[in-house]
Amino acid sequence: MNEGKYVFSQLVKFLPKRSFDCIVMKFQGDKYIKSFSCWNQLLIMMYGQLSGSDSLRELICITTAHAPKSYHLGFGKVLVTRSNLAKANANRDYRIFEEFAYKMISIAQEKRITKEFEIKGRIYAFDSTTIDLCLNLF
């Protein structure tokens, strides 16, 4: 049984949700939405990007496989279907996510290191690449 937080939920903790909510209110992204919010859409799409999903079908299969852990990953209790995700991607305003990306870039630029080879505080690195092995190298 897992006693700590999942890596994805630790990454999500660094996102400024209040800033995202202000952007969503600005563009009225969650207007007439009952369950699948813009925040849930962002997290699902981020999870798909980090897991290397090539299609919505693959992304939904991955999230369905992790359905018992979805609340602890930060997705909420709502089960995401391919049709809901496709409709959300087609109908929601892209400027919500674009403006949030610019906000994240500005935060990263403010926190960048100005002196080379001098690192203070905690540094996190997330590598999502895969290494292909063949029988000759094995």
Residue 22 has pLDDT above 60, yes or no: yes
- Please write the tens of the pLDDT for every residue from 32-58: 888 888 998 999 899 888 888 889 999
Q: Cα(55)–Cα(61) distance, rounded to whole angstroms?
A: 10
Query: Which one has a higher pLDDT value, 57 or 123?
Result: 57
- Please write the tens of the pLDDT for every residue from 78-98: 778 888 889 888 999 999 999
Alpha helix ranges (H) inside the chain = 7-12, 17-27, 38-51, 56-65, 70-73, 82-91, 94-110
Could you tell me which of 99, 7, 91 has the C-alpha nearest to residue 41?
Answer: 91
